Amino acid sequence: MASEEAHLRFDLDMDLITHLAQENSKRNWQVVVDYVGNDSVKFDAVMELFLHGPHLIVQRIGQPFGTMVEKHPHFLFPYIPQLIAYLKTNPIDAVKRNVMRSFQWIELPEEYVGDIFDIGMLFLKTQTEPKAIKVFSLTVLRQICERYPALTNEVLFQLEIVMKGDASAGVLSRGAKEMKKLKAILAQN
């Protein structure tokens, strides 16, 4: 195991693309997260691949990207405009899922809240969006409503539609939790 991990680190030091192409596993994702650590230059390399890499690599780097942002939210701020533009192109599901997941871990700068709110609402409304994208979007939308309570009714209305039409356990569970928080926002305002 130790020599295997050393081999993965050696490959990673040489070429992130080659490393990610080797295998798609939780263990491999963790090696990437550990390699980047708190190094913003290495995170920049991850972002370059996430934003402009080949399809397979973009898919595989999504999970480590989300984990890195959870650990080091400050890494994300310079990339918010690019990520918003990327989301507007209707990228692959891995991008949408992990970008919305990453937005949960930061306080969104005010100048981007409107775009992110619109994107999150679109994801929530679109019946064909995968459940995980809806779930992460819902949390981001609720966080926006905490700052801008006037938006709460709009999110609640759409959430009720989603929960009536979507029997997925994940959406129903997160939806119920977020609905309770959204109703609390309304009660306070």
Helices (H) and strands (E) in the chain, counts: 11, 0
- Whether pTM > 0.85 for this model: the answer is yes
**Structure letter (DSSP) for residue 177:** H
pLDDT at 8 over 70: no
137/45 Cα distance (integer angstroms): 26
Query: Which of 19-23, 96-100, 136-140, 178-182 is predicted with the least confidence, judged by mean pLDDT?
Result: 19-23
**Are 125 and 158 spatial neighbours (Cβ–Cβ below 8 Å)?**
yes
- Mean pLDDT for 124-138 is 93
**Could you tell me the CA-to-CA distances from 174 to 28, 167, 171 in Å, in that order?**
28, 12, 5
**Would you state the pLDDT for residue 7?**
42
The CATH architecture one would assign to domain 79-189 is: Alpha Horseshoe (1.25)
184/189 Cα distance (integer angstroms): 9
| Residue found by looking up tokens 């619109």 in the block | 118
Q: Where in the chain is the domain with CATH 1.25.10.10?
A: 79-189
**Are 55 and 92 spatial neighbours (Cβ–Cβ below 8 Å)?**
yes
**Would you state the pLDDT for residue 10?**
38
**pLDDT interval class at 158 (50, 70, 90):** very high
Return mean pLDDT, the chain: 89
**Are 72 and 36 spatial neighbours (Cβ–Cβ below 8 Å)?**
no
Handedness of CA 171, 25, 101, 90 (dihedral sign): negative
